[in-house]
Structure 1
């Protein structure tokens, strides 16, 4: 598989607290140049970013990020605001405490309400696999499927660990028909990316692959 095929499923991501508009513009320019699936950026920059790219690159943002424990009403408002501002894709964080309390209906209903607020745009549900038991991961595959979201996603990249090969395979094996898997956090090479894809990842959240390409273009090699 060539690098351009891999980059087509990458959400080129910058979510650090210190990100400036100049930093965001670099992400957007690189996303357009390397034809990534989207640029995933903080919500505060979505409107400006959507105007800047003029439809050349889908804009993705995060909701309830990174801890997931905002109220459902807050997350729904964030989602509607992001969509109005030009977001094409939404990555939300579940309420992990509710999952551990076995409030499965509440977790599912929240995802359903946010999906409805997406108004036909793609919703990816971040379950933060590093904080879950295997049983909880499998349960979330079931809940995300029932709630109607398009993707289940491994990680925020802001917790104790990112995506693992084992988790991506488990998620791929347990989600229902039509639900895709996004691996995010710690994807540092094209070899890693291809391994995740072979195990069932349909989307990758990372900034490092584009950085590798830029270094290659500048003569630094892999």
Structure 2
């Protein structure tokens, strides 16, 4: 499998325009990327633009803070798959996690997983805000909630993916039969390859074409 088939070409900036999404989708088509990751309001457009391809349409729920009502996250996921999204990346309720309310975290995840069925859910744990022990616990809760992936970062906080975090999460994820998506600050082929070697299955990046072309 080429590196392109691990890449989710991502544009989640609030100022992204229709023209920007058209460019994103065109690049995903041209470079044979695995998917595009767009805000919910652009799922329908992305699906239309890529309807004759196998490029996955990925969107987000509870993004970027994770602290909205569980019912809202679930509704976002439900509406996304009704608009023909293939996958949903949700943000964990980090506040509940830090408070120690693990039942609430699992329930929040499970609600999105149920709403998105049969499509996979990835859970963003915002690793830059967690200790290593918390990352391990978060990985377990992601699995308990029924999600398919644990994801490192939103890219909107103080840090993105690191090789060390991906290695740690990959070791934990293997125990539970889930996978790892690395995202946040991955902008060149060398970094992307390092993430894959560390155990990531997916890469979320705004530099999909550059990475697919093998550029530094």
TM-score bucket of the superposed structures, by smaller chain: over 0.9
The whole-number CA distance in structure 1 between the counterparts of 2:179 and 2:97 is 21
Matches within 5 A, 1:59-138: 59-138=57-136
Q: What is the CA-CA distance between 1:7 and the residue it aligns to?
A: 1.3
Q: Is the 8 A contact 1:151 1:179 kept in 2?
A: yes
Q: What is the CA-CA distance between 1:188 and the residue it aligns to?
A: 1.8
Q: Is the 8 A contact 1:96 1:127 kept in 2?
A: yes
The whole-number CA distance in structure 1 between the counterparts of 2:132 and 2:176 is 20
Number of the residue aligned with 2:196? 197
The 1:213–1:104 alpha-carbon spacing in structure 2 relative to 1, beyond 3 Å, is closer
Give 3-state SS (helix, strand or coil) of 2:2's partner. helix
Give 3-state SS (helix, strand or coil) of 1:121's partner. coil
Give 3-state SS (helix, strand or coil) of 2:8's partner. strand
Question: Which string of whole-angstrom CA distances, capped at 9 and with x for unpartnered residues, describes residues 52-99 of structure 1?
Answer: 211412110011000000000000011101110110010000110000
Q: What are the ranges of 5 or more consecutive residues in structure 2 without an aligned counterpart?
A: none
Verify: 1:183 aligned to 2:185, yes or no.
no
Give the superposed CA RMSD: 1.5
Verify: 1:37 aligned to 2:55, yes or no.
no
The counterpart of 1:26, out of the listed 17, 23, 37, is: 23
The 1:99–1:55 alpha-carbon spacing in structure 2 relative to 1, beyond 3 Å, is farther
Q: What is the CA-CA distance between 1:213 and the residue it aligns to?
A: 5.3
Q: Is the 8 A contact 1:185 1:205 kept in 2?
A: yes
TM-score normalized by the length of structure 1: 0.92
The whole-number CA distance in structure 1 between the counterparts of 2:50 and 2:194 is 31
Aligned residue pairs: how many?
A: 214
Question: Which string of whole-angstrom CA distances, capped at 9 and with x for unpartnered residues, describes residues 124-166 of structure 1?
Answer: 1000000111121110111111121110000000000100011
Q: What are the ranges of 5 or more consecutive residues in structure 1 without an aligned counterpart?
A: none
The whole-number CA distance in structure 2 between the counterparts of 1:158 and 1:122 is 23
TM-score normalized by the length of structure 2: 0.95
Q: What is the CA-CA distance between 1:211 and the residue it aligns to?
A: 3.4
Give 3-state SS (helix, strand or coil) of 1:19's partner. coil
Q: What is the CA-CA distance between 1:36 and the residue it aligns to?
A: 1.2
Segments ≥4 residues shifted beyond 2 Å = 211-214
